[in-house]
Amino acid sequence: MLKITISGVRGRVDEGLTPETVLDFARAFGTYLKGGKVVVGCDTRASGEYLKGIVFSGLLSCGCNVIDLGIATTPTVGIMTKHLKAKGGIVITASHNPNPWNGLKFISSDGLFLVPLEFEKMVKIYENKKFSERDKGTVAKFNHANRIHIDKVAKAIKRPRRRFTVVVDSCNGAGSVITPLLLKKLGCKVIAINTNMKLPFPHGPEPTPHNLKELSAAVIKNKADIGFAQDPDADRLSIVTSGGRAISEEYTVALCALYVRPKKIVINLSTSSLVDEVAAKINARVFRTKIGEIHVASEMKKIKAEIGGEGNGGVIYPKVGMNRDSLAGIGIILALLSESGKSIDQIVGELTEYFLAKDKLECQTVADAEKILEKTKEIFRNEKTDSTDGIKVYLKEGWIHLRASNTEPILRIFCEAKNEAQAQELLLGIKSKLL
């Protein structure tokens, strides 16, 4: 099965994501760009080099001049696309998906992912198979991307006044080299685990608390101040406190906002109310968008927001770049610890704990999904709702959000409350009303 969404293309290698599919998407992107300079990086999956050769072939056939970053994080590719004044960029990654998944993310000249209209134009070229054929392009290696990314993070924050002991778990992914280098630049004592890029992935690649037991143990063993976990392309960040507690990735954007103290924060509709709580503390205004990084980034650009992101641990900090960036998040959170003089346990302890329950409803057709959304609106007609993306209902106990999946014939359900039992009650309640 091939998944085509606003975030790019992904599938199981040699099944949904076949060599022909990868070649044609590279040719479609090259055709859409009308040739020119294109930056390419990949994460550490075994299929990365194999697919990179195919991507290069497609781009070269359209007259593109390829800048090869080798293994690079998604935010690094975004930063370098703009820095090198390229016409676009491609990241070969399936993000938090496990092996044997892989995929392609497409970046525009400003370092952001393609906006919906741009992406639709590129997909139409892919579907019509009307590819341009120009003089063959060139391939050149670029070896300074990590240094440039690290320097951007270091310049965007105040260098920590304390020498923190930090454990980082990069899941043997694209963050394995760049992240320890950043931490050393910030004056930290670094204990790096799971940074062998030849052996992806030592645990589930999504940086959720369930997958961070080894990191938690390493933080306790080394008496570290904090632990950081990344997904394979290092656009998402999770935290383990000095007490060894793996906290929800929903905390990441909220904690970063505490340091940045912005006037405007942009998050998606399913991100935790924790961000609203922090915004109230610092007198900031929260703007919510449809699900998807590009929707958040585009709104941030439009309203000149100082920070934003998504509840999956993805922080967008424009002073560094316009992609979700775990390295920017790491720098900001260390600066927060330094400026506050508090431990991460103390800071987290001062915030309300929210609980999120998730499920899905199978739908036969898009029309069926729309009927369920309309039924939800009718059930909650007397409550405050938001129809930006599906339907979100605000209740005294918390909130419920239903939205159609971009990749499957299902409706996703998110319910949040201030305790786990209430979150589950909201979930069971809405399912019983709809089924």
Q: What is the DSSP string of 153-168?
A: HHHHSPPPSS--EEEE
User: 154 in a domain, yes or no?
Assistant: no
User: 34 in a domain, yes or no?
Assistant: yes
- Average pLDDT of the residues in 322-345: 98
Residues 93, 42: contact at Cβ < 8 Å? Answer: yes
User: 153 in a domain, yes or no?
Assistant: no
Q: Are strands 36-42 and 88-92 parallel, antiparallel or unpaired?
A: parallel
Q: Are residues 180 and 121 in the same domain?
A: no
Q: Are residues 258 and 381 in the same domain?
A: no
Q: Can you read off the two tokens belonging to residue 396?
A: 């005294």
Q: Are residues 74 and 95 in the same domain?
A: yes
pTM: 0.96
Q: Are residues 304 and 265 in the same domain?
A: yes
pLDDT of residue 406 exceeding 80, the answer is no
Task: Dump the DSSP string for 284-343.
Answer: -EEEEE-SSHHHHHHHHHHHT-SEEEETTTEEE-TTT-SS--HHHHHHHHHHHHHHH---
Q: Are residues 274 and 367 in the same domain?
A: no
Q: Are residues 247 and 202 in the same domain?
A: yes
pLDDT at 376: 96
Q: Token pair 């001062």 is at which residue? A: 350
Residue spans of alpha helices (H) in 186-325: 213-221, 251-260, 274-282, 293-303
Q: Token pair 């497609």 is at which residue? A: 58
Tell me: the pLDDT tens digits for 14-40?
999 999 999 999 999 999 999 999 999
User: 150 in a domain, yes or no?
Assistant: no
Tell me the three state secondary structure of residue 283. Answer: coil
pLDDT of residue 260 exceeding 90, the answer is yes
- Number of domains the chain is built from: 3
Q: Are residues 285 and 305 in the same domain?
A: yes
Cα gap 414→392, rounded to integer Å: 9
Select from 116, 144, 172 the last residue of a domain: 144
Neighbours of 278 (CB within 10 A): 23
pLDDT band at 407 (very low <50, low <70, confident <90, very high): low
pLDDT band at 311 (very low <50, low <70, confident <90, very high): very high
- Average pLDDT of the residues in 117-127: 98
Q: Are residues 381 and 338 in the same domain?
A: no
> Which structural domain, as residue segments, surrounds residue 416?
355-434
Q: Are residues 119 and 203 in the same domain?
A: no
Tell me: the pLDDT tens digits for 151-209?
999 999 999 999 999 999 999 999 999 999 999 999 999 999 999 999 999 999 999 99
Report the CATH number at residue 370: 3.30.310.50
Which residues are CB-neighbours of 266 under 8 A, at least 6 positions away?
Answer: 286, 287, 288, 289, 296, 299, 300, 303, 305, 307, 308, 309, 316
How large a percentage of the chain has pLDDT more than 70? 100
User: 363 in a domain, yes or no?
Assistant: yes
Q: Can you read off the two tokens belonging to residue 54?
A: 């195919």
Q: Are residues 169 and 264 in the same domain?
A: yes
Report the CATH number at residue 297: 3.40.120.10
pLDDT of residue 409 exceeding 80, the answer is no
Select from 300, 328, 349 the last residue of a domain: 349
Q: Are residues 126 and 261 in the same domain?
A: no
Provide the residue type at 270 as one letter: S
pLDDT of residue 312 exceeding 90, the answer is yes
Catalytic residues: 95
User: 151 in a domain, yes or no?
Assistant: no
pLDDT at 333: 98
Select from 144, 173, 208 the last residue of a domain: 144
Q: Can you read off the two tokens belonging to residue 151?
A: 């320097």
User: 95 in a domain, yes or no?
Assistant: yes
User: 152 in a domain, yes or no?
Assistant: no
Cα gap 355→378, rounded to integer Å: 26
Q: Can you read off the two tokens belonging to residue 230?
A: 């990344």
Helices 251-260/326-340 angle, 10° precision: 60
Q: Are residues 212 and 330 in the same domain?
A: yes
pLDDT band at 76 (very low <50, low <70, confident <90, very high): very high
